[in-house]
Amino acid sequence: MQYVIPIGIGLLYILLMSLIHEPHRRRFNAIMVAGAGAAYLSGGGLGGWEFAFAALATYVAFRGLDSWTFIGIGWLLHTAWDVVHHLKGSPLIPFFHDSSLGCAICDPVIALWCLRGGPSLLKLPRKGHTKLAPQGARPGDVV
């Protein structure tokens, strides 16, 4: 369950983000990456490196305002930072020892979705589903 729940949280995040229409979905996710980059500032155990990481995450998030690729990179950077914190024994949530590990499992799920362009799961095309042209449309007409 320790590994399954973070994946479920990542999928739930993606589903909830699918409710936001573009371009707001991309911009909102850029803000989320910036927030994730600052998550360890309040009690992180890596001293000044926490500020360096927050600055890097802020830059990547800024670039993410116009690019899903940068948002995905931001989540992957946060994954790496989670792993460092887990190995150092300085968890994201101080009273939950494996919180950084859970975050390191959840974040790549979100990153993969972002690297695919952050598509809405609510509008995924169904296999074999084709849109029919309106009656009277000719070949080459834009539908």
Residue 18 has pLDDT above 90, yes or no: yes
pTM of the entire predicted model:
0.82
The whole-number pLDDT of residue 41 equals 86
Q: What DSSP letter does each residue of 22-51 carry, written as one string?
A: TTHHHHHHHHHHHHHHTTTTTT-TTTTHHH
pLDDT at 27 over 70: yes
pLDDT over 90 at 129, yes or no: no
Give me the pLDDT at residue 131, please.
57
Distances in Å between the Cα of 49 and the Cα atoms of 18, 46, 53, 86 are: 34, 6, 6, 15
- Average pLDDT for 29-52: 89
Helix, strand, coil percentages in the chain from 3-state DSSP, rounded to 5: 60, 0, 40
Q: Report residue 101 as tokens.
A: 């590990």
Q: Which residue has the higher pLDDT, 143 or 42?
A: 42
85-126 residue pLDDT tens: 899 888 787 788 888 899 999 999 999 999 999 999 887 566
Average pLDDT over residues 68-83: 96
The DSSP element (H or E) to which 83 belongs, if any, is helix 68-88
**Torsion sign, CA atoms 111, 116, 120, 123:** negative
- Under the banding of pLDDT at 50, 70 and 90, the label for residue 78 is very high
Residue 26 to residue 48: CA distance in whole angstroms = 30
